[in-house]
Structure 1
Amino acid sequence: MPIHPAGRAPRRGLRRPAPSRRTLLGAGLLGGALPLLSGCFGLGDTDGLVLEQPAGDVPEKYRDRQRVVIWSAYTAHNAEVIQANLDAFHEAQDDIFAEVQIFDSYDGVESKLAASMQARQVPDIAVFSDVVWNRFYLAEALEPLGGYFDEGFGTDSFDERFLKEGTVKDEIWWLPFGRSTPLFYYNREIFEAAGLPDRAPETFSEYRDWGKAVGEVEYKGKKVPMRAYVGGDDWYFQGSIWAFGGAYSDGLDMRLTTDASIAALEYDRAFIHDDGSGYLAADATGDFSSGACASAMQSTGSLSGIKEAATFDFGCGFLPREKDAGVPTGGGGLSILRYASAERKQAAWEVIKFLSTGQRTIDWTLGSGYVPCTKDAIESDEVAKLAAQDPRYKVALDQLEISREPDIVRRYVPETLVEAKNAIQSVYSAGESAEKVLTRMEEELEPAIDRVREKFERRVGTDT
């Protein structure tokens, strides 16, 4: 996903742990990562190549253990949940110590890893978003994971739909961990004041009509717009373009300038600039939680944070349809780096196994707010109890049935995210023509697609 934020502000009463000395912040490095990715990191002959671990801090009592380095995009409260699970791992066995080095985002992990491989260093485990791991797969930098499973921890430990997203040519390269979809969040008090039903709109057309109705009422003494738009993440636009019958691409063939794709972005332009029902927000989740807008489309992972912050009753529903459903999956998963030593890879697998089984995967699901990815979590009494207690959480689980993974160019062409953000921001903030900006986006992406086409056809081909 996010790509949507990998963490949220710490909950009241919880103390954020001090980051390790080698905590890494990768902001601003994405642009520098792109040529490294397309150039296969410049590693030359990589058969049997083993790269060093990044430096870090190992407590004295763990000095004799095999060290595993995890580069993680999970911050704030989610970092605490992972660390608690790793503390339990350290108590459960005597051979391995796992050190988490924290980045500010999925982009931070991507860009720093690309640069670190040039410096001949790699972590053992990396947390990749759903639109990042594919590029490292193309660069042949990931370890195939199928051979690590055994009778005690098989592929059936994971939700089949999510496991398939990390599989290429019948091999597993990326395991689901913190997965999500967007949800439709709405302020029940505002909807009631506007005479709207207590539900999400069924279609975008209905949503537009409701936006005009919200514009006619006041909430706590002032007018509020219907929707806060997100401009720094095109994940939500990926969903709406499907809803209108369009797509970013069919394989690597672009579909941005079809009538259906243009209609999706033209809808947003009209919603914001013709109707005055929406606006480009700096913090859509914060605006919704404070009552500054009537609705927002945000990650399932935002549900717990909104519950804590909102002072009003709110509901959740499926994303609106138009011609079709448009629900993209997002979030992160775990990969092992190919260039770690055999001992480090095996130790890394033991860490992943621990985090993905039993109570630990249940604790992660409940603590993070992400949807459950493992059978242990999906079938647990704790998750079932939460879904029964809060219908909003059950919406997140039910919507998975109509979700799908992002279009190919979002996954394998890194420039796509940058160009998509530029396109939607041009429409959301300046009201540019949807056809104009999507035509420009498609033209800008063609050279980038050509650069990956040969490797994509060889490494992925029709297995999409």
Structure 2
Amino acid sequence: MHTSRSCRGSAGTPALSRRQLMGAGLLTAGTPLLSSCFGLGDTSGLVLEQPGGETPPEFEGRQRVVLWSSFTAHNAEVIQANIDAFHQEQDEIYCEVQIFEGYDGVESKLAASLQAKQVPDIAVLSDVVWNRFYLAEALEPLKGYFDDSFGTDSYDERFLAEGTVKDEIWWLPFARSTPLFYYNRDLFDAVGLPDRAPETYTEYAEWGRELSGIEYDGNTVAMRGYTGGDDWYFQGSVWAFGGAYSEGLDLKLTDDATIAALEYDRAFIHDDGSGYLAADPKGDFVSGVCATLLESTGSLSSIKDAAEFEFGCGFLPREVEIGVPTGGGGLSILTYASDTRKQAAWEVIKYLSSGQATVDWTVGSGYVPTTKTATESSEITALAEEDPNYQVAIDQLEIAQGPDIARRYVPETIVEAKDAIQSVYSAGEDAEKVLTRMEKELEPAIDRVREKYDQRVGE
């Protein structure tokens, strides 16, 4: 298990050429465009140019495929190793990986490139981004590409279903994850807490009041460091309290259960003193400043490498319901590529998602297995036996689910959610007031996408 937060891509600079980073034009994380109509609409048969780049002399004459990737640092090297192996195993296709800083970097550049009439052949899109490009009619339907050599049954059915709309596949699982509950065993033992994750958020709060404020190894310890830059975790706790961002496109932010989830966080931080808004929750956990962490499965190895204490992992707490969100990214083909480019892109995806490549990616990246080949491999079995925490990550998939519709199809939702949770985590604002404001701010954005959503997604 390697890398950092898999719900947003890795951080850091990869040990790859700067040319790859710059090949796609702009190297920028950017701010995602707040329009759900950043495609070109119904333009059947339109073919757009590839982004610029260079084909190495040894691959001259091959069909070039451009893959826009969100993976940096270690994961960039893992995927490039598989692409290098692909180049050695056949002599017709050359795949150039162009790297952007995280999922937001790919999203903003892809939105701009569509307007500039230029597209890559494959894009790594997050679980809350691909839907918007689907709504904009920019993605290629993939069901017809499968055959006897590589069928839909190659994938985990739960993950494959997340990329399926109206019985057509638009987004294939690749780098998928869920959050885990991480806890410092030494700190739990110091105050007599059980060696396990709390079963409910109520129990979590009770334990927080017992542990927070203790002095340990030179630190005054809190129970949890919160992140205000990612609402992924809040999506899960909302479900746990019986609430939702939305049902379809109908917002549920001011429902009592949704308010209860955010009020829980306000009380945990500001009434109990058990939590705080952290600049780097994972770093604080590793250094012993906080005793627990809600963090991606993809961080398991990096935490294991950095922590100088024994830690355990468990399922996320529940309350009145289960609240475990899936996250991470998948692969889509752009519909505006030529047929030749799209077929070559499919061969790249097939290679990355089958055989030893899918095993190497799963083991090397730290994401949970998305293909049956990876799940059933001896390497994954051995990894789970060696580290029970990794088995927790696999087992929790059984109760995980994809994000609410508003979070998928309305990009303003995540922006407004970050503002909302930061207001509560940092300033202790009233949860009902904050969520009422968030719902009011989102209503125009919902209205803008409703007709297109009903057409492309609704029954």
Q: How does the TM-score come out when normalised to structure 1?
A: 0.95
Which residue is equivalent to 1:26? 28
Give, as a single letter, the amino acid of the residue that structure 2 aligns with 1:191. Answer: F
Give, as a single letter, the amino acid of the residue that structure 1 aligns with 2:17. Answer: A
Is residue 5 from structure 1 mapped to residue 8 from structure 2 by the alignment?
A: yes
TM-superposed CA distance for 1:25, in Å, is: 2.3
C-alpha contact (below 8 Å) 1:193/1:217 kept by paired residues: no
Is residue 374 from structure 1 mapped to residue 375 from structure 2 by the alignment?
A: no
Which residue is equivalent to 1:348? 345
Q: Rate the CA distance shift 1:45–1:204 in 2: closer, same or farther, 3 A.
A: closer
Match 1:427 to one of 412, 424, 429: 424
Distance in 1, matches of 2:11 and 2:378, equals 26
TM-superposed CA distance for 1:144, in Å, is: 0.2
Distance in 1, matches of 2:70 and 2:323, equals 26
Distance in 2, matches of 1:126 and 1:27, equals 15
TM-superposed CA distance for 1:382, in Å, is: 0.6
Taking every aligned residue pair, what percent have the same amino acid on both sides?
71
Structure 2: gaps of 5 or more residues? none
- CA deviation string 1:80-138 (max 9, x = no partner): 00000000000000000001111101111111101111111000000000000000000
Q: Rate the CA distance shift 1:421–1:401 in 2: closer, same or farther, 3 A.
A: same
Distance in 1, matches of 2:236 and 2:169, equals 25
C-alpha contact (below 8 Å) 1:426/1:432 kept by paired residues: yes
TM-superposed CA distance for 1:18, in Å, is: 2.1
Distance in 1, matches of 2:257 and 2:317, equals 16
Distance in 2, matches of 1:459 and 1:252, equals 13
Distance in 1, matches of 2:53 and 2:293, equals 40
Match 1:54 to one of 26, 51, 55: 51
SS at match of 1:315: strand
Is residue 181 from structure 1 mapped to residue 178 from structure 2 by the alignment?
A: yes
**Equivalent residue runs for 1:60-459 within 5 Å:** 60-459=57-456
- CA deviation string 1:35-83 (max 9, x = no partner): 3x32x43x36612100000001221111211000001111100000000
SS at match of 1:294: strand
Distance in 2, matches of 1:350 and 1:303, equals 31
Distance in 1, matches of 2:42 and 2:232, equals 36
Distance in 1, matches of 2:287 and 2:171, equals 37
User: Which deviates the most, 276-285 or 422-431?
Assistant: 276-285
Distance in 1, matches of 2:373 and 2:219, equals 47
Distance in 2, matches of 1:99 and 1:453, equals 37
Distance in 2, matches of 1:82 and 1:203, equals 38
Give, as a single letter, the amino acid of the residue that structure 1 aligns with 2:9. Answer: A
- CA deviation string 1:222-281 (max 9, x = no partner): 321000101101000000000000000000000010110000000000000111110111
SS at match of 2:238: helix
SS at match of 2:433: helix
TM-superposed CA distance for 1:216, in Å, is: 4.8
TM-superposed CA distance for 1:4, in Å, is: 2.7
Distance in 1, matches of 2:409 and 2:264, equals 27
- CA deviation string 1:314-342 (max 9, x = no partner): 00000001001100000000000000000
Distance in 1, matches of 2:42 and 2:266, equals 50
Distance in 1, matches of 2:246 and 2:154, equals 32
Give, as a single letter, the amino acid of the residue that structure 2 aligns with 1:208. Answer: A
C-alpha contact (below 8 Å) 1:2/1:235 kept by paired residues: no
Distance in 2, matches of 1:213 and 1:86, equals 50
C-alpha contact (below 8 Å) 1:2/1:129 kept by paired residues: no
Distance in 2, matches of 1:332 and 1:2, equals 12
Which residue is equivalent to 1:17? 16
Count residues in correspondence. Answer: 453
User: Which deviates the most, 287-296 or 75-84?
Assistant: 287-296
SS at match of 1:128: strand
Distance in 2, matches of 1:413 and 1:3, equals 21
Distance in 2, matches of 1:215 and 1:401, equals 32
Distance in 2, matches of 1:3 and 1:305, equals 12
TM-superposed CA distance for 1:9, in Å, is: 5.3
SS at match of 1:429: helix
Q: Rate the CA distance shift 1:195–1:9 in 2: closer, same or farther, 3 A.
A: farther
- CA deviation string 1:271-294 (max 9, x = no partner): 001111101111111111121110
Superposed CA RMSD = 1.4
Q: Rate the CA distance shift 1:292–1:233 in 2: closer, same or farther, 3 A.
A: same
Distance in 2, matches of 1:346 and 1:34, equals 31
Distance in 1, matches of 2:354 and 2:30, equals 35
Structure 1: gaps of 5 or more residues? none
Distance in 2, matches of 1:103 and 1:94, equals 27
Distance in 2, matches of 1:109 and 1:2, equals 16
Distance in 2, matches of 1:376 and 1:338, equals 28
Distance in 2, matches of 1:29 and 1:100, equals 22
Distance in 2, matches of 1:452 and 1:3, equals 28
Q: Rate the CA distance shift 1:3–1:412 in 2: closer, same or farther, 3 A.
A: farther
Distance in 2, matches of 1:3 and 1:138, equals 24
Distance in 1, matches of 2:272 and 2:6, equals 28
